[in-house]
Structures are given as C-alpha cells and as structure tokens.
Chains A and B, each alone.
Chain A
Amino acid sequence: MIKEKNILKRIFISFCGPGKARMLRTSIFCILLSMLFGSLILLLLSKNPLVAYQSLLQGAGVLPKLNYPGKKSQLTGFLNLVDYTTPMIFAALSITIAFKCGLINISVAGTMIFSGILATVLVGYTDLNPVVARSLVVIIGLVSGGLLGGLIGWLKYKFNMNEIVVSIMINYIISYIVSFVINTKFADPISRQSVEIGQNARLNLMNVEMFGLKMNIPLLFPIAIFVVFLIDFLMKKTRFGFELKTVGSNRKASKYAGMNVGKTMIVTMMISGALAGLAGVSYYLGCYGSIQPRVQPSIGFDCIAVSLLGFITPIGCLFASFLVMIFQCGTSYLSSRLGVLREIPSLMTSILLLFSACAFYFQEKADACKIKLLKSRRPKNE
C-alpha cells in the first residue's frame, strides 16, 4: 500500500477516495468540514465551539441536558426532533425521486402549503372520529400534492414549460392566495395565523402523559420510515424505477428504447408531489397545527440540499434530514446557553449544504490525487 506523505492529503483521500461506502465517507467529510467552519465562526465570537456543539445536541434531545423542567426529559426533546424531522424526510424524498428523473421540483414549499390548507379547511375544523379524520388528512395530502405535481409535469411535457419557473410561480401564487384565504376567513386575531385545528385531525398526539412525562408523539414518523424503504424499493427493484432513472440520465435514449418519456415524467412528478403533500400535512397538521400566512416553509427549499447531502438516495435522505434538523431543533438551547445569535445554527446549516453541493467535486479531486500518487510511485525505468 502506497502512502501519501502529506498528512492532509492522506486524510482527504481516505475520506473521499475510491473504496467501500464512499458516499457515506464523503458525506462525513462534508459534515466535518462544515463543523470546522462553524467552529471558526464561533471562535471569532470567542465562544467555545465544543460547548456549542454539545448544546446543539442537547437541545435536540440527542444528549441529556443537565436539568429539565417538570414532566420533560431527554425523551421529550428527542420526540420533538423526530416530530420536526418527519416532514423533512418526506420533502427530501420528494426531491430525490424527481431528481432521479432529471427534474428539479422546487414546488415543494407551495405544495406543502396547498395540501396543508386543504386538509386544514376540509378536515381540521370538523369533529370527525380521530381515526377517520387523520386518515382523511393523509389522503388529502397525498391526492392534492399528487395532482399539483402532476400538473407541473404535464405542463412541462405538453407545453415545454420550464418546470423550475412554473414551480416558482406556483409557489408564490399558492402562498399569496392561501394568505388571502386565511386572512379573510380563518385568521386567529391573536396569533395572526390560521385558527388552530382540532385535536382529532392533528397528526401528532399532543401532550400525552406517559411515564410521568408530557410528550408529543408524531404518528406519521413510522409511515415516513416505511415510505423511505418503499421509495428505495421502487427505484431499485421495479420496472418503473428503472425507467425513471433511464429517463433521468438520457431522455432521448430512453425514448429510442421505447419508453414513454412523458408518462414517466408526469407519474414521477405526481409521486414527488404526493410526497411533498405528505410533508405539508405532517408539517402543518402535525408539528404546528396552524398556518402562517405569506410564509413559505423553509423546509421546502432546505430539502433540496438535504437530498443532496443524502447523495440523492432515499436512505441517505433519512439520515441527512435528522442531521439538518438537529441543527434547527438545537438552536434555541444553543443561543440561550451561549448567548450567541439565533442565526448561527441556520448559517452553519447552509454552510453544510454548501459543502455537500461540492461533494462530487471532492470525490473527483480525491481520485485525481490518488492517480497522481500512484503514478509518482511507479518505477522510473518503465
């Protein structure tokens, strides 16, 4: 085994170079790099980065805090993290499946609001039986998102409309119209958001007393895990998954091979939209229970980069979502404990996503380093 002399290069190659579990290693490299960057910022503000990262993890319920208020413990913190991660998983999956088909679905934010408001208005304010209401909410999320996604795919296929621009326009149209609807009919005068939905339609069990703790239990999380593996199966083992990837890598070749490109694209966008719809209902009817007018959920855009951090694979998305949400859930504890600004964790998230966008470049570079290394050690008289 040839060893590189330069220690930095050696570390770089061992993280991003060829070999087993390369994607995982490169992801870890990106994470470490961004943590290094974050530490630099924290050091500039003369704060201890180690304490900062520890309190991030503590705030997100991954590590135990020193003391908890009554009826709270690490478990409640962790359940909160799971709760907020659920919509992110759906959203990242939505991006992933569209990405594999060569489409970029920026309409996740708009779709989330759309399915959120539909479910809120149609089911949220009724007092149906909890089981019926919750399943109705999920179905509304799936169908409304699927229809919207299908519409975008259809416009792309039929009218050659740029799907990115259409998605952006749809985001804004939905966001403003929903804001109008909320402000005219469903506004809560105090919170200036939509009136909170009834408990029966809520996708979380709120404030359940168990083991002497008060917890919020996200009901959709097991479904999210199931969907992760379902999409993984769909993409790897089925005929449709193969067609999807082929259309994504070369549209002309797949047409030549006799695949129905338009149908594949539209169906993919429908699945992608349906997943975004699920993200919407789990976000607005799970985590929050009300909708803030005129605000597009940041998850809708973060998920693009999360999907990339997870190397555009469903299982990667699962872990990447958790990682990014740890940053966001730990924010308030971090800022209160160290007295730093609340913006720092979101800054670190975006730096992390910035590096993950360069992941393929890192791999390429590591390959080049390795080849150079091998060449330089070859006997001269060859």
Chain B
Amino acid sequence: MNSIIGDSVTFALPLFIIAIGGIYCEGSGIVNLASEGFLGMGAFFGGFAFALFAQFLGMSSVANAYLSLLFALCGGAIFSMIYALLSIKFKANQVVSGVVVNMLSTALSAFLASQLNLSIFGQASNKFLLAVFPRFTVKWLVNIPILGAFFDDTYVFVYIILFVAIIMTYVLYKTPFGMNLRACGDNPQAVATTGRDVNSIRFKAIVINGALAGFGGMCFAYSISTNFSSSIYAGYGYLAIAAYIFGNWRIKQTLYACLIFGFSRSIGYVLIQHLGLPSTYSDLVLTLPYIMTLVLLLFFSKSNISPKALGEPYEKSKR
C-alpha cells in the first residue's frame, strides 16, 4: 500500500507542477500545447548541467542534483521564450506554434545531446546519465496511517514541488499580478484600459509555464529513467494538459486530477504484478489515465469554462 501511494505521488506531483504552468499560460489567454516541448528541453538542460558539473563535483554529489533542477528551470524558461515570441510577437496560430515548438524541442534536444556528448565528453551517446535523486523521510509524520506514506522515503523534489505549488497558488489567486494575468485570459482589452501591458503579462505567464514545465520534466527524468534521453517525450506534457482541463483551470482541482492519474497508474501496475500477468499488459495500464480523462470529460465538459480569450492574439483595436 505504501509503495502505491509513494509511486503515485512521485508521478503525480511533477505532473501537477507542469499543469500549474499550463494554468498560468492558459489563464493568460495563450493556448498551451507546448508543455511537452518545455519539459523535454528543461530536462535536457538539467541533464546537461548535471553531466557537466559531475566532472567537478562527482556523480553522487547532492548539490549537483539540486543544481540540475535549477538549470532545468532556467532552460525551460529560456526555451519557452521562443514560444512566447511566436505566439505573442508573431501572432502565429497558437496551436500550430505549440506543435512546432514541440517538434523543435524534440529535434533540438536530440541534436544537442548527441553533439555535446561528442564534443565535450567525447562519447558517442545521446543520453546524459543522472544519479539517484536524494530522498527524505519526515520522521514524526511517517507513523500516521495511510497519509504517512507520503512522507516515507519520498524524493525531495516532491516537497519542493508542494512548496512551489503553494506559492504559485497564492500568486495566481491573491496577488495583483495573478489577478491581472487571469483577467488577460478573459478580457485582455479591459486589462489594457487599466494601463497594463497585456503582451508583457502574457510573456511572463509563458516564461513561468516554461520554467515550471522544465522543472517537472527534470523530476520525471530523475524518477522514471534516471537519465536524460528522448524517452522523456512520452506524453507527460499532454497528460498535464488533460489534468488542468479536467480540473477546470483551477489549481486545487488539478491536484486531484493529477493524483487520480498517479493512483490509477500505480494501482494498475500493482494489479498486474499481483495477477501474474506478463509485462505486455503494462500497456493497458498506461491507457488508464487517458481513458479516465475521456470518460470524465464526457460528463464535465458541459460545465467546463475555459478562459474566454483563449487562443486569440491580443489586438488593441478589437472590442
């Protein structure tokens, strides 16, 4: 039981932080399909930073692990500026530019990973090996039944994500910046009349999205494969999108959605182990989150309210 909860939380929380980024982005009125690209690129930057600093600090350095998370954050943010440029400045169709940015990210990270491995580390490989991320146990909370499993030998990034999530929730709902951001998603012209720059708010939202997605991507790289390779593009970004749409663009409900995804996944794995089915059945388990999303969307879509100005480039003169 403990392992189910532990596994599902390690899967759900990186997904959650990516979804928060998506909420920021879509909340400001920019369609977010580029999460997949951001998380991959973030993981690439993080993986590269890890490999680079491992030369000086050694593979097992704890500081290096945290440093790589920081670099993933920055890398995602920098890469997301391309998307910001396309969708804000160039007014390209946001869905299309999202898809293009995803493609660019896949191609660019594959190319850079091979090239950098070759020219800096002298290896013919397209992977960056990572160390195991440090884990942490909150001793005085472990003994609580069921809930204690959250705190038993959990990856440290889970706590970091919880902390960041609380801050981001506060910023989005309680600060003027967050209010303006959400207003940009519903009625950008109204925000402009109060003298604020819609495009700059949207730009910030996208960069926040990129940073959070990059961070989440690095967490996935640590928890799922302990290396950076092109297998990071496994659709987690899209799953995060499903999570926040299912959560009706609100952070709290999105957390529930992510936890549901995580639980259904790890319960499925445990079931297969229990029933002694061959490993090919894990494919069926992996469909569970997606099927659940579809079924739940079927019931909740009518009441789903997306930001009103979602997908429209901001035109000053439009009424």
Q: A-side interface residues toward B, CB under 8 Å? A: 45, 104, 106, 155, 159-162, 164-166, 168-170, 172-173, 176-177, 179-180, 183-184, 293-294, 301-302, 304-305, 308, 341, 343-344, 346-347, 349-351, 353-354, 357-358, 360-361, 364
**CA gap between A51 and B305 in the complex, in Å:** 54
Give the top 3 A-B pairs by smallest Cβ distance, nearest first.
Answer: A343-B111, A180-B283, A361-B90
- Closest B residue to A183 by CB, please name it: B280
Which A residues are CB-close (under 8 A) to B111?
A: 341, 343-344, 346-347
B92 interface residue (CB < 8 Å to A): yes
**CA gap between A351 and B108 in the complex, in Å:** 10
Cross-chain contact A164 with B281 (CB below 8 angstroms): no
Q: Which of B143-151, B200-208, B293-301 contacts A (4 or more CB under 8 A)?
A: B293-301
Which A residues are CB-close (under 8 A) to B245?
A: 162, 165
Q: Which of B13-21, B179-187, B234-242 contacts A (4 or more CB under 8 A)?
A: B234-242
B225 interface residue (CB < 8 Å to A): no
Cross-chain contact B115 with A341 (CB below 8 angstroms): yes
**CA gap between A227 and B110 in the complex, in Å:** 35
Which B residues are CB-close (under 8 A) to A45?
A: 115
Cross-chain contact B283 with A301 (CB below 8 angstroms): no
**CA gap between A160 and B280 in the complex, in Å:** 35
B287 interface residue (CB < 8 Å to A): yes
Cross-chain contact B283 with A341 (CB below 8 angstroms): no
Q: B-side interface residues toward A, CB under 8 Å? A: 33, 82, 86, 89-93, 95-97, 99-104, 106-108, 110-111, 114-115, 118, 235, 238, 241-242, 245, 278, 280-281, 283-284, 286-287, 290-291, 293-294, 297-298, 301-302, 304, 306
Which B residues are CB-close (under 8 A) to A357?
A: 86, 90, 92-93, 96-97, 100
Q: Give which listed residue, B110, B241, B278, contacts A165 with CB less than 8 A.
A: B241
Cross-chain contact A172 with B287 (CB below 8 angstroms): yes
Count A-B pairs with CB separation below 8 Å.
132
Cross-chain contact A161 with B297 (CB below 8 angstroms): yes
Cross-chain contact B104 with A351 (CB below 8 angstroms): yes
Cross-chain contact B290 with A172 (CB below 8 angstroms): yes
Q: With A180-B283, A305-B96, A361-B90 given, is the CB distance from A341 to B107 under 8 Å?
A: no
Q: Could you tell me the distance in whole angstroms from the C-beta of B47 to the nearest C-beta in chain A?
A: 16
Cross-chain contact A180 with B281 (CB below 8 angstroms): yes
Q: Could you tell me the distance in whole angstroms from the C-beta of A87 to the nearest C-beta in chain B?
A: 17
- Closest B residue to A341 by CB, please name it: B114
